Amino acid sequence: MNPIRATLSALALGVLSLGLVACDGASADGNTDDRTETPTAAAPVTGPDTPVDSDDATAQPGDSATPAWDHPRMEELAPIERIDVIVRESFPPQYVLEITSGLPSGCAAFERTDVTREGNTFKVSVVNTVPAPDADVACTMIYGYYDQSVLLEDIESGVEYTVDVNDKTLTFTGQ
């Protein structure tokens, strides 16, 4: 075996040995590792009405609370990819509006959904936040999606209803 190959083989064997020692919890002198695992705190349970501190490490883009951004942002209506009304088999039936909205770039974040009712028409606004035009922020061109369910209440059997979600419209009849 030539001297360079022998040196490289010895070096590779040494690195492999160190990796095995590190992985099996034994120290270099052969003693087992006596470390104990420290329990980690579970992330707090949050809902749409739970305030979240903007410095909270559990807040993520798309959460009910807007994360802290280091640039000015503005609101805009989200592009709507899909809407559908699902009728749950219960008594009385429950009606759920399933919405898939778009996040047009890596800088877009779901902000909120506003629902109002005028007679038999539900008006739903899905709002994202994006960097302000003067923010000078580079954004990835990755298109994302945000799925959500909105309960539609007080639906009467045999009555036709309209749901307007940003730029999409759907009609259904109560069962």
Q: Is the pLDDT at 45 greater than 50, yes or no?
A: no
Q: Is the pLDDT at 59 greater than 50, yes or no?
A: no
Q: Among 63-72, 120-129, 157-166, which is the least confidently predicted range?
A: 63-72
Q: How confident is the model at residue 70 (pLDDT cuts 50, 70, 90)?
A: confident
What whole-number distance in Å separates Cα of residue 86 and Cα of residue 144? 23
Q: Is the pLDDT at 157 greater than 50, yes or no?
A: yes
Q: Rg of the chain's alpha carbons, rounded to an integer?
A: 27
Mean pLDDT over 54-80 rounds to 67
Hey, where are the domains in the chain?
Answer: 1-30, 73-173
What angle (nearest 5°) sits at the alpha carbon of residue 136, between those of residues 134 and 142?
A: 115
